[in-house]
Every structure is written in structure tokens, then in C-alpha cells.
């Protein structure tokens, strides 16, 4: 017959392992959830920054276009409607400077957006998936091992006269030297 104490200790150990495994799973799920929320917040912040920079670039383009139009108007007004090579040259130089400024601005904007996209990619890839499933499997293996140990101990106690010793051994040898005592 099985020893009730062994059964109780084995059962309590298995229940404790199960509870520990559940607590570890909850903690891991919370960690993964917090990490995901932080990553989402960082991504939203980067996307907002990208939109703000895009709006600033558009505003700057409009301001430069307005400045170009004012310059061209004043050059045309100073020529009093006459067409000359120097007036046309001044207009062409201003248009070319505007085109270069806008091209540089758009190029810088594309580099900025590329960097933002790269940061978003790094953030997205750096998230570690939840290990709760692995923790659950580990807990199940521990419980199975403890159950096996409990069964083994119960079988050892089934034999009449066999009781595991808790106190000092009745072995007549002393330590690891093998010498007899007495």
C-alpha cells in the first residue's frame, strides 16, 4: 500500500510547481505585452516625427516658391517690361537656385524618411516573442519528473520492512574510507 505521506508530499510538490509555472507564464506574458506596447509607442512617435518633418518641408517649399515669385516679380518690374538677356539670365539663375534648393530639401527629406523607416524596422524586429509556452512546457516536465519520483518512492515503500531512513545510517562503515567502526 502507498504511504499517504509520500502521496501528499508528491501532490503538494506538483501543485506548487504548477502554480510556479503559471506565475512565470503570467510574468512572461506581461513582459512581452509591455515590450510590445513600448515598441508601438516608439513606432507611433517616429511616424509622427516623419509626418511633422514632411509638413515642415512642404511649408519650406511654399516659402521658397513665394520668395522666387517675389524675386521674379521685382526683376520683371525693374526691367519695365523690356526683354533683355541680362533680365532673362537673372530669372534663369533664380529659377535654377530654387530648383537646387528644393531638390536638396527633397533629397534630405528622403534620407530622413529612410532613417525613420530603418528605426521602425529595428524596433519591430527587436521585439522578443513571449516565452510563456516554453515556460509552460518546462513546468509540465518538472511536474512529470516529480510525479515519477513520487511513484518511485511509493513503490520503494510498498515492500514490507523497507522504510527510507531519515536519520543516521546503520551502516557499520565510517565515511568514505570503508573502515569498520567498533
Residue 182 lies in a domain: no
Convert the pLDDT of each residue in 57-111 to its tens digit. 999 999 988 988 888 888 777 766 566 777 778 788 888 988 998 999 999 999 9
Average pLDDT (134-149) is: 79
Distance between terminal CA atoms of the chain? 38
* Structural domain count of the chain: 1
Cα dihedral value 134, 139, 145, 148, nearest 10? -130
Average pLDDT (133-148) is: 79
Residue tagged 516625427 (cell numbers): 49
Residue 153 lies in a domain: yes
Residue 147 lies in a domain: yes
Give the sign of the dihedral formed by CA 170, CA 174, CA 178, CA 180: negative
Assess whether pLDDT exceeds 80 at residue 19. Answer: yes
Residue 23 lies in a domain: yes
Q: What percentage of the chain exceeds 90 in pLDDT? A: 19
State the CB neighbour count (10 A cutoff) for residue 163.
10
State the CB neighbour count (10 A cutoff) for residue 27.
12
* SS3 label, residue 140: helix
Residue 65 lies in a domain: yes
Residue 177 lies in a domain: no
Give the range of the structural domain holding residue 119, as residue numbers without chain letter.
4-162
pLDDT confidence band for 41 (50 / 70 / 90)? very high
Amino acid at each position: 500500500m502507498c504511504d499517504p505521506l509520500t502521496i501528499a508530499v508528491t501532490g503538494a510538490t506538483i501543485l506548487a510547481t504548477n502554480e510556479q509555472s503559471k506565475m512565470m507564464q503570467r510574468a512572461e506574458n506581461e513582459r512581452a505585452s509591455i515590450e510590445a506596447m513600448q515598441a508601438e509607442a516608439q513606432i507611433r512617435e517616429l511616424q509622427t516625427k516623419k509626418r511633422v518633418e514632411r509638413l515642415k518641408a512642404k511649408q519650406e517649399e511654399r516659402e521658397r516658391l513665394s520668395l522666387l515669385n517675389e524675386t521674379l516679380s521685382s526683376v520683371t518690374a525693374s526691367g519695365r517690361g523690356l526683354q533683355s538677356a541680362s533680365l532673362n539670365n537673372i530669372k534663369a539663375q533664380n529659377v535654377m537656385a530654387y530648383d537646387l534648393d528644393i531638390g536638396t530639401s527633397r533629397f534630405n527629406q528622403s534620407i530622413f524618411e529612410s532613417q525613420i523607416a530603418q528605426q521602425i524596422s529595428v524596433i519591430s524586429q527587436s521585439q522578443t516573442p513571449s516565452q510563456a509556452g516554453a515556460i509552460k512546457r518546462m513546468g509540465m516536465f518538472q511536474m512529470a519528473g516529480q510525479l515519477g519520483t513520487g511513484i518511485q518512492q511509493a513503490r520503494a515503500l510498498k515492500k514490507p520492512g523497507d522504510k527510507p531512513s531519515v536519520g543516521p545510517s546503520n551502516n557499520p562503515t565510517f565515511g568514505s574510507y570503508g573502515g569498520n567502526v567498533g
